[in-house]
Amino acid sequence: MQTSGKRKENKAKEMSRSQTIAFFLRGSVRFFVIGMILSLLVALLDMIGPKIVQYTIDYVLGDEAGPTAIAQYAIMACGGREYIRAHLYIPAGIVILIAVFSALFRYLYRVFSSMGAEKLICRMRDELFAHILRLPVSWHGRNHTGDIIQRCTSDVETVRNFLSEQMMTLFRVGILVGFSLFFMISISPSLTAMSAIFVPVIIGYSVFFHNRIAASFLKADEEEGKLSSIAQENLTGVRVVRAFGREQFERERFETQNRGYTRMWIRLMAWLSAFWCSNDLISGSQIMLVIAMGAVFCVRGRITTGQYIAFVSYNGMLTWPVRELGRVISDMSKAGISIDRIRYIMNSEPEPLRTDTDEAADTAATTDSGAATAFRAPCTDSLGAAPLDIVFDHVSFSYDEGTEVLHDVNLTIPAGTTLGILGATGAGKSTLIHLLDRLYDLPRDNGTITIGGRDIRSIDRRALRKYIGLVLQEPFLLSGTLAENISITKPGEPDMEAVREAARVAALDETVDRFTDGYETYVGERGVTLSGGQKQRTAIAQIVMADTPVMIFDDSLSAVDTQTDARIRHNLLEHTAGSSVILISHRITTLMQADCIAVIDHGRIVEQGSHEELLALGGLYRHIYDIQTSY
Ligand SMILES: Nc1ncnc2c1ncn2[C@@H]1O[C@H](COP(=O)(O)OP(=O)(O)OP(=O)(O)O)[C@@H](O)[C@H]1O
Ligand SMILES: [Mg+2]
């Protein structure tokens, strides 16, 4: 439905991986910076411990000659060699003190990085949710809810871990490796070379391995999405599943998917375990080589005993982070996929709430924070409170390229009149309404729909939807009380008087009076605790409450008996006096009082006129009338 020019423009404002990360990191980055400073302090403190042990062994306990200037200064500061020899608790105490500070900084590091992580995930959820709410109905039709939910939960979690843990670990590992190598080189460059030769091997092996299994991780994520989709679909459609006795089939479908998913993870885990084992083997060999060669160096007098012990400690500090690097790289490959899955949502073009002309300006001004800013942009467009003429002019439309659903529709609804639309199922009645409400957008060269002479494509969607009240064919109630649902268009505490009046017009009042909790009755998710007719009447009450200049009832009386239908129509006629009304129905009795009735057949308006005119015409309307009155 998009023109190719528009698509190109969208491509330009797509966020790259790094832009997506930068966008989400806003607001939490300072916590991560503090975390980094703290981890730097921890690494520095950790480096001092082995040095103290080395000096104590070599220059305090032993009689090694030629202590370095730093060692000399440290020994003097603690009272001199003899004094420390008699009071060995001094170096022990310093080591403990350093450990205490290191623990304190480690604690603070955890606190700050967790705060950063929580702020980050909070922003990610907020932005994703706000963006998803703005995505067009057609986008929601193309994407499975279960998969979207998975992207908003487990993928968000993966990205958070990547940014708050893996990136921080990468930084820490960098510092530790740098510091360890520095101290090791200062002790023995040749022993360091023997140890360091393993570093690129371990890292290279990790990268190679994780590149090999990246595709499997992506597949596993997709399989998880499919699994959630099946579960979600079955929960939403629980009644259909029961009614058609599909439990066994659905269970088997779920189990097959679940088995496949489990098998996939078992295979992945087997690969990961193999990786960790082999990695352990390489790291173990490295430690063994350093201990053995260090001992040789020590015996041959190339390094002192203290240096040997310190070197082994530093080497231990090097081994852990290098191995950690393997895990980080493994998770990073997952994070890349998750970021792409989240980017898919963030880069999907939202339904612009402002006019088409304002959109270009918006896009230019808000490339990376477009979602949030455009969403909060004030609505300045207004159609006023009086009904205006609605005109469909040569409107043609297709959902998917190829099959045209509406063909050259011409319709005029003069302000303040009622239009009835009659047509068989699938004729295109709801489509007509969806186009008017801009739930689907009419492409540029497929005709025009105007309100008061203005092309609806140039009207702010929010203003348009405030102007048009629409009772959808399949009403959807949100969880909450009946009163809250009826006053859904009016935020805040429900105005009970208005709610009662709306319920009266929708012929819902007597039913509600019979409920123990009245208007405080809790309506379950999607209104499952109400009957079909009660749900429809609640939806009518919502629109009555909204009191819009244009009201559309898409087959809204199909689930009520003819008596209630008549009562509601009578009430509506009174209530909607002065408003423009569009009534869609299969029942001629519902429509016969309309000022004009349009008969739609296979996407074409085939007849138009008042009830009497259409009867006299003797066409399709007459035929349907005869069938409906012959019972
Ligand atoms: N979201 C969609 N994507 C693709 N095709 C659609 C979509 N919605 C409707 N259609 C198709 O468009 C045609 C017209 O559908 P529409 O819902 O407008 O019919 P209708 O006249 O309202 O029927 P009913 O009386 O059953 O509600 C149908 O053939 C339907 O299959
Ligand atoms: Mg319909």
Ligand 1: distance of its center to the CA of 426 in Å? 5
Distance in Å, CA 605 to ligand 2 centroid = 15
Phi then psi dihedrals of residue 346, to 5 deg: -65, -30
Q: How far is the CA of 585 from the centre of ligand 2 (A)?
A: 9
The pLDDT score that the predictor gives to residue 74 is 83
427 lines ligand 1 (CB under 6 A): yes
Residues in the chain where the model's pLDDT stays below 70: 1-13, 66-67, 326-327, 330-331, 333, 352-381, 524-528, 631
439: which strand partners? none
Closest CA to 230 of 153, 156, 150: 150
* pLDDT recorded at residue 369: 40
Residue ending a domain, choose from 331, 346, 361: 346
| CA 424–ligand 2 middle distance (angstroms) | 9
Same domain, 498 and 429: yes
SS3 35: helix
Output the CA 526–ligand 1 centroid distance in Å.
22
Q: Are residues 198 and 335 in the same domain?
A: yes
| CB of 584 closer than 8 Å to CB of 406 | no
Residue 264 burial by Cβ neighbours in a 10 Å radius (0-12, 13-18, 19+): middle
383 inside domain: no
φ, ψ dihedrals at 428, nearest 5°: 115, 15
pLDDT of 572 reads 85
Return the residue whose CA atom lies nearest to atom 12 of ligand 1: 405
Number of domains in the chain: 2
Atom of ligand 1 nearest to the CA of 431: 18
* The two three-digit tokens of residue 305, written as one number: 């005993």
d(CA 531, CA 559): 9
Q: What is the CATH number of the domain that holds 92?
A: 1.20.1560.10
**What single string gives the DSSP state of each residue in 31-89?**
HHHHHHHHHHHHHHHHHHHHHHHHHIIIIIIS--S---HHHHHHHHHTT-HHHHHH-TH
Q: What is the pLDDT of residue 386?
A: 84
Asked if residue 180 is part of any domain, the answer here is yes
460 and 397 within one domain: yes
Residues 410 and 545 grouped into a single domain: yes
For residue 50, being part of any structural domain is answered with: yes
* 432 alpha carbon – ligand 1 mean position (Å): 10
Question: How far is residue 472's CA from residue 535's CA, in Å, rounded to a whole number?
Answer: 11
What is d(CA 63, CA 495) in angstroms, rounded to the nearest whole number?
Answer: 91
One domain, residues 317 and 255: yes
Pocket test for ligand 1, best of 398, 401, 407, 429 (most atoms within 8 A of CB): 429
CB of 491 sitting under 6 A from ligand 1: no
Q: Which of 143, 431, 442, 587 to mutate to test the pocket of ligand 1 (most atoms within 8 A of CB)?
A: 431
Q: Give distance in angstroms: CA of 472 to centre of ligand 1.
A: 13
Confidence at residue 630, expressed as pLDDT on a 0 to 100 scale: 78
Index of the ligand 1 atom closest to the CA of residue 138? 1
CB 399 less than 6 A from any atom of ligand 1: yes
Query: With a 6 A CB cut-off, is 430 part of the ligand 1 pocket?
Result: yes
Phi, psi of 476 (to 5 degrees): -130, 115
Q: Which atom of ligand 1 is nearest to the CA of 586?
A: 25
Amino acid at 458: S
Count Cβ atoms within 10 A of the Cβ of residue 488 and give its class: 0-12 exposed, 13-18 middle, 19 or more buried. middle
* pLDDT recorded at residue 199: 86
Residue 292: per-residue pLDDT: 95
Tally of CB atoms within 10 A around 365: 12
**Residue span of the structural domain in which 37 resides:** 4-346
Q: What secondary structure letter does DSSP report for 456?
A: G
Nearest ligand 1 atom to the CA of 423 is: 21
8 Å CB contact between 584 and 421 = yes
| 3-state SS assignment for residue 142 | helix
CA of 589 to the centre of ligand 2 (A): 18
- CA-nearest residue, atom 29 of ligand 1: 426
- CA torsion angle 456 435 131 6 (round to 10): -70
Phi then psi for 564, rounded to 5 degrees?
A: -65, -40
Nearest one of 441, 452, 465 to 359, comparing CA atoms: 441
Domain stop point among 313, 329, 346: 346
pLDDT at 145: 83
Ligand 1, atom nearest to 137 Cα: 1
Residues 288 and 429 in one domain: no
Q: How far apart are CA 476 and CA 524, in angstroms?
A: 11
Q: State if residue 141 touches ligand 1 by the CB under 6 angstroms criterion.
A: yes
Q: Which atom of ligand 1 is nearest to the CA of 433?
A: 18
Q: How far is CA 374 from CA 285, 350, 359, in A?
A: 58, 10, 9
Residue 311 sits in the same domain as residue 452: no
Largest CA distance in the chain: 123
Residue 494: which CATH number? 3.40.50.300
Q: Is residue 156 part of a domain?
A: yes
> 313 CA to middle of ligand 1, Å?
72
pLDDT at 8: 38
pLDDT of residue 12: 45
Q: Is the CB of 426 under 6 A from ligand 1?
A: yes
Q: Is residue 358 part of a domain?
A: no
Structure tokens at 427: 């004729």
Q: Is residue 476 domain-shared with residue 586, that is, in the same domain?
A: yes
Q: How far is the CA of 398 from the centre of ligand 1 (A)?
A: 10
Query: Under a CB-based contact definition with an 8 Å cutoff, are residues 504 and 571 in contact?
Result: yes
Ligand 1 near 429 CB (within 6 A): yes
Residues, Cβ < 5 Å to ion ligand 2: 430, 473
pLDDT at 375: 37
365 falls within a domain: no
**End-to-end C-alpha distance for the chain, whole angstroms:** 44
593 Cα: distance to centroid of ligand 2 (angstroms) = 21
Residue nearest to atom 26 of ligand 1 (CA): 425
Q: Does residue 504 share a domain with residue 435?
A: yes
Q: Which residues make Cβ contacts (< 8 Å) with residue 234, sequence separation at least 6?
A: 241, 250, 254
Decide if 521 is inside a domain.
yes
Residue nearest to atom 17 of ligand 1 (CA): 430
Domain-ending residue, one of 292, 315, 346:
346
95 in any annotated domain: yes
Q: Are residues 262 and 394 in the same domain?
A: no
- Residue 597 to residue 617: CA distance in whole angstroms: 13
Residues 411 and 325 in one domain: no
- Select from 430, 439, 584 the residue to mutate for testing ligand 1; criterion: most ligand atoms less than 8 Å from CB: 430
How many Å lie between the centroid of ligand 1 and the Cα of residue 139?
A: 16
Residues 335 and 397 in one domain: no
